[in-house]
Amino acid sequence: MLIAVVTLTDGRGRSAAGPPSQPDVAPAVAVLAPQGSTDPVPSTAGLARVLGPLMREPALGGRVAAAVVDPLTGRLLYGEAQDQPMTPASSAKVLTAVAALRVLGPDRTLPTRVVQGPTRDQITLVGGGDPSLTAQPKPETPYPAPARLPDLAAATAARLREAGVSAVRLTYDDSLFTGPQVSPEWDDGYTVANVAPVTALMVDQGRRQPGERLRRSGDLAESAAKTFAGLLAQHGIRVTSTSRGPAAAGAPTLAEVHSPPVSGLVEHMLSASDNDYAEALARHVARAKGEEASFAGAVRAIRAVLGELGVPTAGLTLYDASGLSRQDRVSAETLARTLALAASPDHPELRAAVTGLPVAGFTGTLDSRFGGEAASALGYVRAKTGTLTGVNSLTGLVRDASGRLVVFAFIADRVPAAYRDTLAPAALDEMAAAVARCGC
């Protein structure tokens, strides 16, 4: 078998096997693909010998769970409290990623459209639930290229000018998603910096300024429509009024822009731990499964998809798709088996759930992780992090010393607050590094 290996350096003399962060095409992951059954499978006793003592690390608190799965055979290689439902934090995004890729497919894009209203001087901006929609200039690196509101405005203005229209009434339709925009299970203040109210129409994720964490208050769909009106004005189209309203059934499309493919959205969601992307993707899964596009419908749909894939869901309780709720419960085995499907050669449609995982010490939420004794795994571990007060988790995959690809999930949900950002994540990193070194 031909195995492709790409070497990265981070400016500190370290190298990693993995794809470049902004490739021209979807990242290659042959280096992480299961090679076959010839590489020795780590033994349960060997994994227990290296992981058992690390799970007793005081910084992890009084409740820790672990599961290690062979993605080639689906066999549980090691488990301790692996079936105990625990708070996953953002590791829950692994479930959302697999559900989205399975149901929507990796190549689907999400459109934001402008359709003709009932009169020639009325148009409707229709939100398509694209969390990447931006009003910012075109990025220097085109992958994955977000949908741009300025492009939509330019194309819309051109169509209007062709029709001899120079002034319009603008309505905006954000009805694709239903239910509350903010989960009652979220802590107060989450929508200030961690997540935007969930809406089918927003621009720049509701941020006040690009790149900053603070969100706008008020109606994000209305704000997007007003931004669009300003962009139309730059192209000579005057907007005389702006109001919320549904698009007419069967209305002809004047212009549209499309998100990156679902695979690109999933990769970003996992790498950046993007809560907005998670909640939007989950609502599209809900719609595809015949559920309402709400918090409740989304989690029902995710659970259904996992069940269809044969993932054990006993004890699985979700209140959102991002892992922000402290009431979410999932077992380490459910996380590990879900990711094992994405790493399996039987499910190429799920591969973005692997390529999107941060690389230890190099990308995403792991860019500054895996120091100290865990540094031996720099560039080798790919994993999704999870962090809430009292909770740290790590769900990922790595080749062990014998060359066998294994998937792991570690959860600690009674972490002393003082250790959340220091000793607790370091302890989980060391557990992943121990699996990488094992060859046992």
Which one is catalytic: 91, 93, 325, 331? 93
Backbone dihedral region for residue 326 (phi beyond 0: left; psi -120 to 50: alpha; all else: beta): alpha
The strand order across the sheet containing 391-399 reads: 76-80, 64-69, 405-412, 391-399, 382-388
- Between CA 428 and CA 395 the distance in angstroms is 10
Which one is catalytic: 91, 223, 273, 322? 273
Task: Specify whether 368 is catalytic.
Answer: no
In sequence order, what are the residues at sequence separation of 6 or more whose Cβ sits closer than 8 angstroms to the Cβ of residue 351? 29, 101, 106, 263, 342
- Between CA 289 and CA 268 the distance in angstroms is 23
Contact yes or no for 233/225 (Cβ under 8 A): no
Buried b (16+ CB within 10 A) or exposed e, 287-315: bbbebbbbbbbbbbbbbbbbeebebbbee
Task: Specify whether 384 is catalytic.
Answer: no
- Structure-block tokens of residue 199: 């809406």
| CA within 13 Å, CB half, 176 | 29
What is the distance of C-alpha 148 from the center of its chain?
20
- Structure-block tokens of residue 182: 């903010």
Q: Which residues pair with 64 in a beta bridge?
A: 412
- Between CA 336 and CA 343 the distance in angstroms is 10
Nearest residue to 304 (alpha-carbon basis) of 127, 99, 58: 99
Task: Specify whether 93 is catalytic.
Answer: yes
Q: Where are the alpha helices (DSSP H) in 36-182?
A: 44-54, 93-104, 149-162
Nearest residue to 44 (alpha-carbon basis) of 75, 83, 86, 81: 75
DSSP reduced 3-state for 8: strand
Nearest residue to 349 (alpha-carbon basis) of 141, 139, 71, 98: 98
- Between CA 391 and CA 47 the distance in angstroms is 23
Taking CA atoms, 65 is separated from 10, 178, 213, 214, in Å, by 32, 35, 32, 34
Which one is catalytic: 90, 223, 331, 393? 90
Which residues does the annotation mark as catalytic? 90, 93, 273
